[in-house]
Structure 1
Amino acid sequence: MNEISGKKLIETIKQKGKSLEAEMSFFDHLEVLRWHLIRSAIAIAVFMGLSFSFYDFIFDTIIMGPKKPDFWTYRIMCIIGEKFNLGPDFCVTDIPINIINTDMAGQFTLQLNSSLLIGLVLGFPYLLYEIWLFVKPALSDIERKSANGFVFYATLLFVIGILFGYYIIAPLSVNFLAHYTVSPEIDNQITVDSYLSSVATLTLGSGIVFELPIIIYILSKVGIMTPKFMKATRRYAIIVILIIAAIVTPTPDILTMLTVSFPLFLLYELSIVIAGKVEKNKLKAEKAFYEN
C-alpha cells in the first residue's frame, strides 16, 4: 500500500514539474515577445522624433500635398484630360477648402499625431522584422523555408499600398469632397484634425488592404483558404471590391471608381494564384511523404 502511495506521489510530482515547466515556458515566450515589442516601439519612436524635427517639410509637402492644385496627381489628371479630351472638369485647378484650427492645442497635437503616423509608416518594416524573429523559432525547417521573404514582400506590398492611397485615393477623395456642395451659402471650413484624419485613414487603410496576398498566404498554409473557394466566391468579391471603391471614393465618376477598384481586383487574383501554389506544394509534400 505504501509502495502504491509512493508511486502516486512521485507521479504527482512529475506532473507538477511538467506543468511548472510549461508555465515557465509560456512566461518566457511572453518575455521574449515583450522585448520584440519594446524594440519595435523604440524604432517607431526614433522615426517619430525625426519626423517631429523635420516637420516643416512633412507638413508643407506631404500632409498638405493633396490640398494643393499642383499636386502630382492633379497635374497628371490635367495631362490625361487634355490628351483624351475629357473636358475641363477632369483637370483639377482648385481645391476650395480652408484648413482651420479650433482648439488651443490643436496645432501642437497635429504635429504630435502626424509625427506618430509617419513614425508608424516608416517603422512598419522593422515591426514586421521583429514579428518574424519572434515567430521564426517556432517554425519547422520547411515552414521557415517557405516563409522566407515574408518581411520583404509584406513591406513591398505595404509601401505600394501607401503610395496608391496617398497618390490616388486620398487626392481623388479630397478633390471630390472639396467640390461637393449642398448649397453655395455653405463654405467648406475644414478642421485640421478632420483633414489629417481623412488623408491618414485613406492612406494607411490602402496600405493594410494591400497586405491581402500575405493574409491569404497565411490562411492557405493553415488550410482555411483554398483557391477553389476563392474562385467560387469571385463574383461576390467583385461586388465587395466595388462597394469598397465606392465608399473610399464617393464620386459618381465611373473612371475614378474603376481606377481604385482595379488594383484590388489584381490583388484578389494574385491571392488566388498564391493560394493555388500553397495547395500544390501541400499536395506535393503529402505525395512525397506517402511514397517514402
Structure 2
Amino acid sequence: MSSSNSVEMPFLDHLEELRWRLFKCAVAIAIGVGVAFALLYTKQVDIIAFLSLPIQPYLKQPLMVTHVSDLFDIVMDASITLGLIAASPVLAWQLWGFLSPALYGHEKKAVIPALIGAAVLFLAGMALSFFYVLPVTLSFFMSFQSGSVQIMQTVDQYVSFVISMCLAFGAIFELPIVIALLSAMGIVQPQYLSKFRRHAFLGCIVAAALITPGSDPTSLIALTIPLYMLYEVSITVSKFISRRRERRIAAGDE
C-alpha cells in the first residue's frame, strides 16, 4: 500500500467502489457497442467491404455466405470489438482509479506511459498485418490457383482469418511492454537480452517465415526487420527501466 494513504479503506467499501466502477464500465461498453452496431447496421461504415480490401484483387466473384445469419454474426462481432475499443479509455480510467491508491509514486508514473505504449504498439501491429502481411500472405496462397479449380471464399472464414492475423500481430508488438514490466520487476536484465541478440534475430526470421509462408526473400526481410527492431527497442527500454530501478533501490525507495 502506498505510504501516502494514511487510512486504509474498509473491505466493504472496496467492494462497493468496485461494484460502481464495474457498473460504469458496463455502461460504457453498452454505449460503445450500441453506437458501433448502429453505424454498421445503417451502413454508415461498411465493415465487410473494409475487411475484404486485401483479398479483393484476387477475387473473381464476391465473397459468399453459406448461412443467412453469417452477416449478422460478423456485424455483431465487429460491433463488440469496436465497442470495446471505444470504451477502452473509460475502462482504463476506472481500472486506474481503483488501483492507483495502492501504488507507489514511481509505479503511478509508469502505468500511464505503459498503457499508452501498449495501445499504440497493438494498433501498429494490427495495421502492419492488415495493410502489408495479409496482402503478401494472400498473394502466396492465391498463387496455387488452378484453371480447373474455382475458389469460393466464404465471408465468415475470411473475416475470421483476418481478425486472427491482426490480433496475432497486435500481440507480438506488445513485446517491448512485456519486457518493460519484467524489467521493472527485476525478472529480466538487459545484459541477458543483449547476450541473445543472434538467437533473437534467428527467431525473428523463423517467425517471419511462419507468418508469411511465401518464398519471396524481399517479403521475408521486410517482415523480419520490424520484428527484430521490436527486440532492440525492448533492450533499450529494459536498460532504461533497470537503471531507474537500481537508483530507487540505492535511494531506499524499494
Q: Same fold (TM over 0.5)?
A: yes
Distance in 2 between residues matched to 1:42 and 1:180, nearest whole Å: 48
Query: How far is the alpha carbon of 1:62 from its aligned partner?
Result: 2.0
User: Residue 257 of structure 1 aligns with which residue?
Assistant: 220
Residues 47-73 of structure 1 deviation map (CA, whole Å, 9 limit, x = unaligned):
32222222232325422222233xxxx
Deviations 1:35-90 (CA, angstroms, capped at 9, x unpaired): 54443443333332222222232325422222233xxxxxxxxxxxxxxxxxxxxx
Of 31, 43, 53, 1:46 maps to 31
CA contact (8 A) 1:47 1:122 kept: yes
Partner of 2:103: 139
Matched position secondary structure for 2:187: coil
Taking structure 1 as the reference length, the TM-score comes to 0.72
Deviation at 1:162, TM superposition (A): 2.3
217-226 vs 36-45, which moves further: 36-45
Match of 1:130 among 94, 97, 103: 94
- Of the three residues 244, 248, 252, the one matched with 1:281 is 244
1:67 to 40, 55, 60: 55
Distance 1:270 1:101, change over 3 A: same
SS at match of 1:102: coil
Structure showing greater relative contact order (alpha-carbon pairs closer than 8 Å, 6 or more residues apart): 2
Counterpart-to-counterpart distance in 1, 2:220 and 2:23: 41
Where does residue 114 of structure 1 map in the other structure? 78
Matched, 1:165 2:150: no
How do residues 180-195 of structure 1 correspond to structure 2 at under 5 angstroms? 180-181=144-145, 183-195=146-158
Distance 1:38 1:255 in 2: 50
The two structures have a TM-score, normalised by structure 2, of 0.82
Instruction: Provide the identity percentage.
Output: 30
Instruction: Tell me which structure has the larger Cα radius of gyration.
Output: 1
CA contact (8 A) 1:48 1:118 kept: yes
Whether the aligned pair in 2 keeps the contact of 1:178 and 1:188 (CA below 8 Å) is no
Label 1:138 to 1:47 Cα distance change in 2 as closer, same or farther (>3 A). same
Q: Secondary structure at the match of 2:46?
A: helix
Please tell me whether the aligned partners of residues 52 and 112 of structure 1 are also in contact (alpha carbons under 8 angstroms): yes
2:3 aligned residue:
none
Q: Which has the higher helix share?
A: 1
Q: What RMSD, in angstroms, separates the aligned Cα atoms of the two structures?
A: 2.7
Question: How far has the Cα of 1:98 moved from its partner?
Answer: 4.5
**CA distance in 2: counterparts of 1:39 and 1:172, whole angstroms:** 42
Structure 2: 5+ residue runs without aligned partners? 1-7
Query: What CA distance in whole angstroms lies between the structure 1 residues aligned with 2:140 and 2:19?
Result: 44
The answer (yes or no) to whether the contact 1:97–1:188 under 8 Å persists in 2 is no
Structure-2 separation of matches of 1:186 and 1:266: 41
Q: Which residue is 2:174 aligned to?
A: 211
Secondary structure of 2:131's aligned partner: helix
Does the 8 A contact of 1:168 with 1:260 survive in 2?
no
